[in-house]
A and B are shown apart, each in its own frame.
Chain A
Amino acid sequence: SQTIHQWPATLVQPVGSPLSLECTVEGTSNPNLYWYRQAAGRGLQLLFYSVGIGQISSEVPQNLSASRPQDRQFILSSKKLLLSDSGFYLCAWSTGAEQPQHFGDGTRLSIL
C-alpha cells in the first residue's frame, strides 16, 4: 500500500534562517505531489504541485520554493524565513489529476 512521510513533525526557526521540509511517498510511481499550508487552524491553501521530476507549478507568490529531485521526493524550501511563514505544512500525493489526494501528517513550523 502507499504511504507518505513528512519530516520533521515540528520545527522552530529564527527569522531569516533557511528552511528545508521533506516529503517522500512509497508504494506508487510517478505520483502527483502537492504542498499545502494551513494557517490559523482552518482551511488549507495549495502552495505548489508537481506532475513529474523537475516540474513545479506555483499557486501563490511567496517566500518559498519547491523542488522534486526524485520521482517520489518533494522538498519545500526557503532561503530566509519570515514571521508570516509560520503555519502547518502538509504534503499530499495523488495518482493523477482529479484523483483523490492523500495527506501526510504535516510539519508545524514556528518562526521566532
Chain B
Amino acid sequence: GIQVEQSPPDLILQEGANSTLRCNFSDSVNNLQWFHQNPWGQLINLFYIPSGTKQNGRLSATTVATERYSLLYISSSQTTDSGVYFCAVQGGGSNYKLTFGKGTLLTVNP
C-alpha cells in the first residue's frame, strides 16, 4: 500500500515563530488532507489539498503531486497551535482508505 512519511516527528517553537511541516508519499494520490489533533483528541480538518496551494488565516498548504510531497506552513504560531499534525492520503489503488502518517508533534511555548 501507499506509504506516508512526515517530518519532523517533533517540533518545539516559541510563540510567534514560523514552521514548515512536510509530508512525503510513495504513490499518486487522489485525496490528501491535513489534520490537527488537539490535546482532547479531536481531529480537525485543516486542508483538503490533493494538489495546488490553499491558505486559511495563518495556515497554508501546498501539494506538489508530481513530486509526491505536501507542505504545511504555520506562521506566527500560537500556543493553541500545539498538538499533533497529521497528513493523510488516499491513493495507491484505494478509493476509500485514508492512510495516515505518524504525525508531527508540535509544541508552542509562550
Contact = CB atoms under 8 A, between A and B. Distances in A.
Interface of A: 32, 34, 36, 41-46, 49, 51, 57, 59, 88, 90, 97-103, 105-106, 108
Contact of A43 (B41, B48, B102): B102
A59 B103 contact: no
Given A98-B30, A99-B31, A100-B31, A105 B100 contact: no
Query: Mostly helix, strand, loop or mixed at chain A's interface?
Result: strand
B30 A100 contact: no
Given A43-B102, A100-B48, A59 B43 contact: no
Given A42-B103, A100-B45, A105-B41, 14 more contacts: A34-B96, A36-B98, A44-B88, A49-B97, A51-B96, A98-B31, A98-B90, A101-B33, A102-B45, A103-B42, A103-B43, A103-B45, A106-B42, A108-B41
B90 to A, nearest CB: 6
Contacts of B33: 100-101
A90 B43 contact: yes
Nearest to B49: A100
A43 B101 contact: yes
B100 to A, nearest CB: 5
B97 to A, nearest CB: 5
B102 A42 contact: yes
B71 interface: no
A43 B100 contact: yes
Interface-centre pick from A42, A46, A105 (highest chain B CB count, 10 A): A42
